[in-house]
Amino acid sequence: MRKSRYTVADFEPHIPGSGGIISTIAKRVGCDWYTARTWIDNSPTLKRAYDNECESVLDMAESVLLKNIKDGDSADAKWYLSRKGKRRGYVERSEVTGADGAPLVIEYVNDWRNAEQD
């Protein structure tokens, strides 16, 4: 049932446990996605509740990741180091060179730089 006028109180209890998914909040309230998004964006109270929910989900995901690392999951450890360990040198880099390490040659097709002026 869609209402013609909503209040902050219509949305606030439906944010916790939503995982920060706007369509879930909208379905719980009984409005469309755009209405829920607009209310969250325009209400400091709802924005704070929404941000708290999103941060909770992020904390949960980090907890799972750390548990996996403690359990010896090397793929998760590598992923974590590539994101959080950059300052320690854990960075995946790609170097682009020409064939067999030669300098990279860039060829312009339709090179406008030397075109004759009209």
User: Taking the model in full, what pTM does it have?
Assistant: 0.68
Domain annotation covers residue 55: yes
Place of tokens 């009984």: 30
Domain annotation covers residue 66: yes
> Could you give the CA distance from residue 40 to residue 98 in angstroms, rounded to a whole number?
51
Q: What is the mean pLDDT of residues 67-92?
A: 89
Domain annotation covers residue 82: yes
Domain annotation covers residue 36: yes
Q: How many domains does the chain have?
A: 1
Could you list the residue range(s) of the whole structural domain that residue 88 is in? 8-114
Burial 44-75 (b: 16+ CB within 10 A, else e): eebeebbeebeeeeeeeeeeebeebbeeeeee
pLDDT of res. 1 = 54
pLDDT digits (tens, 9 = 90+) for 4-24: 699 999 999 999 999 999 999
Structure tokens belonging to residue 16: 């916790």
Place of tokens 């360990």: 85
Domain annotation covers residue 2: no
